[in-house]
Amino acid sequence: MGVDIAFAGEYHPTMNPGECPFSRRRFLQAAGGAAGALAASVLFPSLLPAAGGKTVDVGVASAASPAERARKAVALAGGMKSFVSRGDVVVLKPNIGWDRTPEQAATTDPEFVVAIAGMCLAAGAGSVRVFDRTCNDARRCYVNSGIKDAVERFARENHVGDALRIYHVEDRKFVRTSIPGALAIKEWDLYRDALEADKIVNVPIAKHHSLAGITLGLKNMMGIMGGNRGQIHYRLPECLVDLHRRVPVALTVIDAGRVLVRNGPSGGNLADVKSFGKAFASGDGIAADVVAAEMIFRLAPRDVGHIQKAMESGLGVSSVAQIRLVEG
Amino acid sequence: MKATRTLRRVSQWVVFLLFAFLFLNTEYKDNDVLPYAVNLFLRLDPLMAGAAALAGRALIGLVWPALVVALLTFALGRFFCGWFCPLGAVIDAADATVFRTVRRKDAVPVSWRRYKFLILFFLAASSLFTLQWVFLFDPISILIRTFTVSVFPALNFVIHRIFDGLYRAPGPIPGISEPVYGFLKSHFLAFEQPVFRTSAFVGLLFLGILALERYQRRFWCRNLCPLGGLLALMGRFGFFRRRITESGCTRCGLCESNCRMGAIGGDVAVTDHGECIECMDCQAVCPEEVIHFSGKEGRKPMAVDLTRRGVLASAALGAVTVPFFRVEAHGKSPNPLLIRPPGALPEGEFLARCTRCGECMRVCIANGLQPTWFEAGIEGLWSPILVPRIGYCEYNCTLCGQVCPTGAIRRLPLQEKRKTKLGLPYIDRNRCFPWIGQSDCIVCEEHCPTWSKAIVLKEERTLTPRGEWKLFKKPYIDEDLCVGCGICETKCPLTDRAAVLVTSRGETRSTGLFAR
């Protein structure tokens, strides 16, 4: 097997997002008034391309609470109604992968998840389905991440128990799915509910990852894959591109309230968690990842193999010049 | 006088349902601490409790309920077998269904009932000399083990097969079957299909016990069960016993022919109180209503069918065999794959106390605890070992220590459990992809649960099979941090043998350089 993982090795796993050597905050403040496209192109000078195609908005929200951040980011990205239509069956895919608490920042913040579920329903979604294929025991992950309880409580209190449900993945619902034009995985077992959904809303948490450097939206979608997912890691960038080619994501909302900056993706140690207080949202998952990678981890697309590969794939933005930052 | 028989039947049902309830709740249900004493049945078992205490040389506080059963038996006789024993209830149920119409021709010799005593004395003597074999014959251990390892997984499998089929069926069928499936799933079925080593063997043994009903009612309880034997000896002098008002008795013999235990012998007025399990059938069938259960008895009871020679021989055999097991070579060179659950006592004490009930395997959240075949020698049969390729030890889980009825697995607080080493892994550098220059992987490292990861990646130049030097992230083990949970071995993406393997080296319970 000719395996060549494009791993630039430029990541900074021990970096504290609050202590960037370049004062991004000041820079962004200066650029804030300028047109987003211009700001983006200045952000990544090394990648200044001949900008082509349409621009996409990436909402970057700062707020005190996870729910506020989620709402603000989605609003900045165009509002939930531009992604979810009335009657849609929505799959909401948070990261519930680990037997960790929200404070440990290995799983998406439950308030964040619930806020987005609420927005989907408010936008008229017929049903919202929440699940993840976990790494630790699924029951423990659902409970200790706080996500099961938060979603069920929200559904109960708002009397939307039929429309909003969180459930466990079942083996029998994985469907062997062929992926035309695949780079690495011509077929794989994918979760039926994700394949049949009208819209997928991807709600990852931003964190360090020992192979990919970081994990954001693109990688979070591994949660709909069945089978021996470990083997995905042999050619992670190609596999993730293949997955997104088959299962397009309507909206990506990245939780960057707490960020695990070391020992990811599972973490555990609170000393590895930094407060960042932001959220990112975009209808273009690649754009959301590009912006989050830069702003949180100061990584350019070429520094993260799978983001680079995704930009080459034509599945979304192919250059940073196409990205318009909308901050709030 | 059928009321007391009805009461006994109700008792059997209630107890069996309680047994089933506790069995089904021997499982993680969104709570780190199990809310019920799911191991209650084993703790009520005086045979298992006595053997574990005797062989383990320890007073085991956990098994205090067994003392209550023993005292009640002294007072009331062998009621346990007729009213309480869940295996007895299953056997009776088999009798009332499968063997309902069977005509038993060749009578099993009455003298066979002595075997249960001989087995008891054999087991007692070997336990006295630290070899605990009781699990082979103890009915509670057999039943929980069989349900855990065979019956429940098999039932779960069959029900899943049925509903998976209906799920894929065309038309309105899934709309009907799925709600039913959902109900079963949330109340009865396993979260994930459990699999166990020895399951076919254990299941067949259990069917064998039931099949003995073909030859005699309650064959197991009459002839083989050492718990029955122990309770027979304890309960012989109870004040609750069968007696007949002889003046009204017509000697019709209905009581004798209906006795499931053969406890009425020769003269219908004579009862073997060790054999009588007080099922009340005789009282219910007596047309003259002259059978009563109360304290006084006019006739001399039947003697226990034992010779001094038999007792001494079986006890001597139990004692004499022990040294054979103590000079088995695995004592000097244990199987490196003998990875015991977190909190397990040192091997000798562990085997002395372990009831082989399978509660720990039932509750193990990742299905990693498995029954041994012979990794711990013949004497260690069915004791729990972690087989990481099947499932790992969940870092934040302490359930196995919570359910162990005899403390063979100590109940560890979470903080202590997280520091308890089960063993240590090593990287097979001939198979690990980064090590052989095949590709990056990191799956073992990303799953490593310790809070400074015990698997450390080092980016190093490696020669690929095509002769190029490339950088790969190679895993190394930090043995100080590692707890041997085995998740690395479970999750290693290699499809057959993992490239990271856990052995028992460094386990906390043993002594040596790595002991903590």
Question: Do B141 and B48 meet the contact criterion of CB atoms below 8 Å apart?
Answer: yes
**Which structure tokens are listed for B498?**
């993992």
Residue B315 to residue B319: CA distance in whole angstroms? 6
Nearest CA in chain B to A230: B493
* Residues of A in Cβ contact (< 8 Å) with B493: 228-231, 233-234
In this prediction, residue B106 carries a pLDDT of 75
Lowest-confidence range among B210-219, B271-280, B290-299?
B290-299
In this prediction, residue A35 carries a pLDDT of 40
Residue A64 to residue A16: CA distance in whole angstroms? 20
Question: Do B440 and A233 meet the contact criterion of CB atoms below 8 Å apart?
Answer: yes
* Residues of B in Cβ contact (< 8 Å) with A135: 446-447, 491
Give how far A30 is from chain B: nearest CA, Å: 39
Question: Do A163 and A127 meet the contact criterion of CB atoms below 8 Å apart?
Answer: yes
CA of residue B351 relative to chain centroid, distance: 14
In this prediction, residue B330 carries a pLDDT of 87
Cβ-Cβ contacts under 8 Å between A and B: the total is: 95
Q: Is A269 on the interface with B (CB under 8 A)?
A: yes
- Of A122, A115, A130, A118, give the one whose Cα is nearest residue A86: A122
ipTM of this complex prediction, to 2 decimal places: 0.92
Residue A223 to residue A133: CA distance in whole angstroms? 5
Following DSSP, what letter does each residue of B399-449 receive, concatenated? Answer: HHHHH-TTSSB----HHHHTT----EEEE-TTT-TTTTTS----HHHHH--
Q: What is each CA distance from B451 to A58, A257, A265, A273, B481, in whole angstroms?
A: 34, 21, 12, 12, 9
Cβ pair B191:A234 closer than 8 A: no
- Of B476, B478, B480, give the one whose Cα is nearest residue B499: B476
In this prediction, residue B239 carries a pLDDT of 84
Q: Name the A residues in 282-311 with CB < 8 Å from any B CB.
A: none
In this prediction, residue B296 carries a pLDDT of 65
* Residues of B in Cβ contact (< 8 Å) with A139: 28-30, 191, 365
Following DSSP, what letter does each residue of B318-384 receive, concatenated? Answer: HHHHHHHHHT-GGGTS--TT--PPTTBPPHHHHHHH-----HHHHH-TTS-EEE-SSTT-GGGTT-E
Cβ pair B396:A99 closer than 8 A: yes
Please give the average pLDDT of every successive group of 10 residues along chain A, which has 328 residues: 32 38 40 41 43 81 97 97 97 98 98 98 98 97 98 97 96 95 95 98 96 95 96 94 97 98 93 97 97 96 95 95 94
Return all residues near A190 (Cβ < 8 A) that are at least 6 apart: A174, A175, A177, A224, A225, A226, A243, A246, A247
Gap between the terminal Cα atoms of chain B: 65
Cβ pair B449:A235 closer than 8 A: no
CA of residue A1 relative to chain centroid, distance: 29
Residue B206 to residue B143: CA distance in whole angstroms? 8
> Which residue do the tokens 């002889």 mark?
B246
Q: Least CB-CB distance to B473: which of A211, A268, A269?
A: A211
Question: Do B236 and B266 meet the contact criterion of CB atoms below 8 Å apart?
Answer: no
Nearest CA in chain A to B458: A210
Nearest CA in chain A to B475: A210
Q: Name the A residues in 172-201 with CB < 8 Å from any B CB.
A: 172
Residue B81 to residue A230: CA distance in whole angstroms? 52
Nearest CA in chain B to A171: B192
- Of B370, B368, B386, give the one whose Cα is nearest residue B504: B386
Of B162, B443, B447, which to mutate for an interface test with A (greatest number of A Cβ within 10 Å)?
A: B443
Of B396, B414, B446, B492, which to mutate for an interface test with A (greatest number of A Cβ within 10 Å)?
A: B446
**Which structure tokens are listed for B168?**
């894929």
Of B30, B31, B33, B440, which to mutate for an interface test with A (greatest number of A Cβ within 10 Å)?
A: B440
Cβ pair B394:A269 closer than 8 A: no
Q: Give the dihedral sign, CA A291/A297/A301/A304.
A: negative
Q: Least CB-CB distance to A231: which of B164, B395, B493?
A: B493
Give B210's pLDDT tier (boundaries 50, 70, 90): very high
In this prediction, residue B305 carries a pLDDT of 73
Give how far A254 is from chain B: nearest CA, Å: 21
Instruction: Please report, as a single letter, which amino acid is at residue B513.
Output: L
Of A233, A272, A273, which to mutate for an interface test with B (greatest number of B Cβ within 10 Å)?
A: A233
In this prediction, residue B306 carries a pLDDT of 83
Give how far B496 is from chain A: nearest CA, Å: 12
* Residues of B in Cβ contact (< 8 Å) with A168: 191
In this prediction, residue B137 carries a pLDDT of 97
CB atoms inside a 10 Å sphere around CB A253: 33
Residue B449 to residue B443: CA distance in whole angstroms? 12
Q: Is A247 on the interface with B (CB under 8 A)?
A: no
Give how far A203 is from chain B: nearest CA, Å: 20
Q: What is the pLDDT of residues B102-127, one digit of tens each?
A: 888 778 998 899 999 999 999 999 99
In this prediction, residue A39 carries a pLDDT of 45
Q: Least CB-CB distance to B365: which of A9, A137, A168?
A: A137
Q: What is the pLDDT of residues B392-449, one digit of tens each?
A: 999 999 999 999 999 999 999 999 999 999 999 999 999 999 999 999 999 999 999 9
Q: What is the pLDDT of residues B437-484, one digit of tens each?
A: 999 999 999 999 998 999 999 999 999 999 999 999 999 999 999 999
| DSSP-derived pairing of the beta strands B241-244 and B291-294 | antiparallel
Nearest CA in chain A to B493: A230
Q: Least CB-CB distance to B439: which of A140, A235, A268?
A: A235
**Which structure tokens are listed for B89?**
């209830």
Cβ pair A266:B449 closer than 8 A: yes
In this prediction, residue A99 carries a pLDDT of 97
Q: Is A211 on the interface with B (CB under 8 A)?
A: yes
Question: Do A267 and A218 meet the contact criterion of CB atoms below 8 Å apart?
Answer: no
* Residues of A in Cβ contact (< 8 Å) with B192: 171
Across B81-92, average pLDDT? 97
Question: Do B53 and B59 meet the contact criterion of CB atoms below 8 Å apart?
Answer: yes
Return all residues near B61 (Cβ < 8 A) that are at least 6 apart: none
